[in-house]
Amino acid sequence: MIEELKKELIELVEERGFPRELGLLMAEQLSGEKAMTRMIGYLRHTGPQRAEDLVDEMLAICEDRDNWVRKKSAEFYQEKYNSYLWDLKGDSGDEE
């Protein structure tokens, strides 16, 4: 699936008159299925006029992805910390 999305992204970039290398670099940076799908949707529906617009959208998508990863990581470690605190509370409650 990823290879198909990568190929489609590169073709759309070329159809819009931009260099193939730009499509290759964008596919490499986006790397994920959801991120590539968002970029393909942008290319299909917006029809950017400048390469700067493409790169700006790619960076925004990458930033969204990175923020999501940080959020999920924080949630995971917060859950671990909460479990640790509950375990401590449970241990101290047994002694009373």
For residue range 4-54, what is the model confidence (pLDDT) as tens digits?
Answer: 999 999 999 999 999 999 999 999 999 899 999 999 999 999 888 899 999
Nearest C-alpha neighbor of 9 from the set 27, 32, 28, 30: 27
Residue 12 is predicted with a pLDDT of 95
Tokens of 25: 């670099």
SS3 77: helix
Identity at 66, one-letter amino acid code: D
Give the Cα separation of 82 and 91 in Å (integer): 14
Provide CB contacts within 8 A for 24, sequence distance 6+.
10
Sequence spans of domains, the chain? 2-68
* pLDDT over 70 (residue 86): yes
Tokens of 80: 């671990």
